[in-house]
Structure 1
């Protein structure tokens, strides 16, 4: 066989060994345990893939009756065998990602015994998953830097009679967002609050409203005013500022009753370690629709220490300030956030949304050679070898 015939065969066969799922994806949403690909056309427009290309262990489970409003939670994959079972995802290397794992027990096994187990992401991040009989799914979300294309999402059994399971895996590349997070740092979501919106407002917006497919929990605080637009804004797009917050979230806010009153927001962290490092993000919009009214200016305090002063221009200027504060030292799992009007500001302080993360240092992974490039290198050396043999 001539040399170039061999080369052509190799070049043809190598790609055939790569399935469609073998190409890195910027967005990947997996409906674990599902038997067909679906699209949530009625709400988020998210395309949900099945999970058979990403794992070969475990078994599909189906919830015949469920009150879970989020339909991908009606299926799951359980792992009655093995101490550790892993999904293998192909994501874009050298890219920051948001990855969220969802768990909805729904008493699928008729045992009325929701399990506890460990979720591990990328071999570096882990968290204990405690499920319940509640109708509300349990989510665990990380933001981390993907060093290499292969990312493992693993479920580890920690108690003999507790069977790990998983309902959904969602991952989205974050381009030029959460900028204070360094590549050797990972963030674990503690809270993401859409202030001023009531419980009827959807936690999940369409991908046209939030490119990063985040979950924004609506929250009204009775002691403060809730500012709302009075019309449906859930389908509006995102704002071209830090972290691409949705317009729909910035249309809501809480506001103090007057300029001498502050917004006081205690934050409790899941871990109660003596010392933690946290990452805070605050989102603001004006809610002043009169171009003749001056802007308001607010100061952000954390545990009594001033961290930032921000001017919030009138709505007509279309400037929506986003303030990130990192690192924040957390003592005994508790932080007090205070937002006040600066002296001379004619308007009370307000806040549209807040994200709170626990920050972790993670070890740097070594560089890897991508499979396609490595295949071409093999072909090149094979050609040289065959040339030298006289074929």
Structure 2
């Protein structure tokens, strides 16, 4: 059953300013907000990833336990990222931790990557605990030697140090392939409290099978392609930078592609089935018009969640990104999103991208205050200024 909290009055805030000065914390061409670690790599063998150009360094300066290992040669390939070729394994000790010196109060995306690769020639993929500081973040379970597991969390730093730990649960030797930290703008991915664990992040309507990340995404979020046979694909012929012009700095390549309902349907449906019905989720939906609809043409629609009113009515403008999310969590055995065309709309709903996160409460989690239940970021050109409207 869907869990909803009482709606509060919405409060409007209008900001007139140069957009990039307000929102950009990481330059798309540099990695000043990045920490990228190839775990198990020999010290002094730094390299730039062939696909993303991200600079990876050895983990030697962040941990003094564990042993360096290489995956089985028969699992190596030209398409395998180099950071998956080595692991740091921890055959000794119950809990082994990486230590990072960070800035208190900053918000970070922390990503850990695991590929067993039969590094120990036992052909027995392990299961173990993943901790952030003193608290469990998640568990790591791999199906086989070539399975790649990625765990990602958005977390506000409570002190000047952070610890990512691998915990032996008696089901095999813990290990890790890569660790990545990305500094985020503090104004995005706000919650009432707690941290956000990634459930899924989808590039809706992708016309390729490509996964999108840095340099297309300034924050190096990883977007997976997703579409459905019940959707009509719509897209621009080029990736306009205008599609990044909201506080989430969405990748133009992601926002360039979108979907609408097929065969004249007035509703666009998307469903996510959690692995645990008690988990509390935040849903982020990203929109932008990518079709020129002509004079008087517009889309106007309402968003339903599990059949109940969630947000709207709303409309989108050409090349003007809009992000809608709830300030309160939802849960259930299934999360069913429905975008329903309004009676006065000439065109059906559109959707470009979706993110879902579940809430992870830590013992000492920072609290972030919000002004209302829903927040919508609109940006559009107004003569020589960019207007950011926050509801």
Corresponding residue for residue 353 of structure 2 = 353
- Post-superposition, which runs of at least 4 consecutive aligned residues in structure 1 deviate over 4 A? 235-238
**Are residues 228 and 66 of structure 1, via their aligned partners in 2, closer, same or farther at CA, if it must alter by over 3 Å?**
farther
Deviation at 1:229, TM superposition (A): 3.6
**Are residues 136 and 244 of structure 1, via their aligned partners in 2, closer, same or farther at CA, if it must alter by over 3 Å?**
farther
**Are residues 80 and 230 of structure 1, via their aligned partners in 2, closer, same or farther at CA, if it must alter by over 3 Å?**
same
**Contact 2:204 2:257 survives alignment (8 Å):** yes
2:221 maps to which of 199, 214, 228: 214
Q: What secondary structure sits across from 2:328 in the alignment?
A: strand
2:290 is equivalent to residue 287 of structure 1: yes
**Are residues 301 and 198 of structure 1, via their aligned partners in 2, closer, same or farther at CA, if it must alter by over 3 Å?**
same
**Are residues 341 and 259 of structure 1, via their aligned partners in 2, closer, same or farther at CA, if it must alter by over 3 Å?**
farther
2:201 is equivalent to residue 192 of structure 1: yes
1:88 maps to which of 96, 99, 106: 99
Q: CA RMSD in A?
A: 2.3
**Contact 1:76 1:165 survives alignment (8 Å):** yes
Deviation at 1:136, TM superposition (A): 4.6
Instruction: Point out where structure 2 has 5 or more consecutive residues left out of the alignment.
Output: 1-31, 367-391
Q: What secondary structure sits across from 1:108 in the alignment?
A: coil
**Are residues 212 and 265 of structure 1, via their aligned partners in 2, closer, same or farther at CA, if it must alter by over 3 Å?**
same
Alpha-carbon displacement from aligned partner over 1:320-378 (angstroms, at most 9, x marks no partner): 1111123232124x211111112211111121110001113333379xxxxxxxxxxxx
Which structure dedicates a bigger proportion of its chain to strand?
A: 2
**Contact 1:237 1:246 survives alignment (8 Å):** no
Deviation at 1:291, TM superposition (A): 4.8
2:52 is equivalent to residue 44 of structure 1: yes
Instruction: Point out where structure 1 has 5 or more consecutive residues left out of the alignment.
Output: 1-24, 367-391
2:35 maps to which of 28, 31, 42: 28
**Contact 1:280 1:357 survives alignment (8 Å):** yes
**Are residues 199 and 109 of structure 1, via their aligned partners in 2, closer, same or farther at CA, if it must alter by over 3 Å?**
farther
Q: Would you say how many aligned residue pairs link Structure 1 and Structure 2? A: 330
Moved more, 345-354 or 190-199: 190-199
**Contact 2:130 2:164 survives alignment (8 Å):** yes
Which structure dedicates a bigger proportion of its chain to helix?
A: 1
Corresponding residue for residue 188 of structure 2 = 178
Corresponding residue for residue 228 of structure 1 = 235
**Contact 1:339 1:349 survives alignment (8 Å):** yes
Give runs of aligned pairs for residues 272-283 of structure 1, distance below 5 A.
Answer: 272-273=276-277, 275-283=278-286
The structure having more radius of gyration, on CA atoms, is: 1
**Contact 2:268 2:340 survives alignment (8 Å):** yes
**Contact 2:195 2:365 survives alignment (8 Å):** no
Q: TM-score, normalised by structure 1?
A: 0.78
Give runs of aligned pairs for residues 1-391 of structure 1, distance below 5 A.
Answer: 26-35=33-42, 36-40=45-49, 42-63=50-71, 64=73, 65-67=75-77, 69-133=80-144, 135-159=146-170, 162-182=172-192, 184-198=193-207, 200-201=209-210, 203-207=211-215, 209-229=216-236, 233=239, 239-257=244-262, 260-270=265-275, 272-273=276-277, 275-309=278-312, 311-315=314-318, 318-332=319-333, 334-364=334-364
**Are residues 192 and 328 of structure 1, via their aligned partners in 2, closer, same or farther at CA, if it must alter by over 3 Å?**
same
Q: What secondary structure sits across from 1:249 in the alignment?
A: helix
